[in-house]
Structure 1
């Protein structure tokens, strides 16, 4: 969802984790950072093959 609307992951992920998963705010923020880091790494390495940056 965050990729479709072009906003930062925390904008939608943190409220969803707090409300839907009933996580405490600190755990939701940490989980959000892990999710965003994983998405960034996947995007970085995925684009590297197309641009010859391996």
Structure 2
């Protein structure tokens, strides 16, 4: 989804993100991913289970 579409169709973006991650692009390049809070919490919980040296970037 383009950033412009995300801006002017924010409600639609939210509806789509409830079913799966949505990549938002600016000038044709991906810049952010919008996802449901349940998926975010699942990812955060999984990150807590990783060994300390794996989490460092």
**TM-score if structure 2 supplies the norm length?**
0.30
The structure richer in strand per residue is 2
The structure richer in helix per residue is 1
**TM-score if structure 1 supplies the norm length?**
0.31
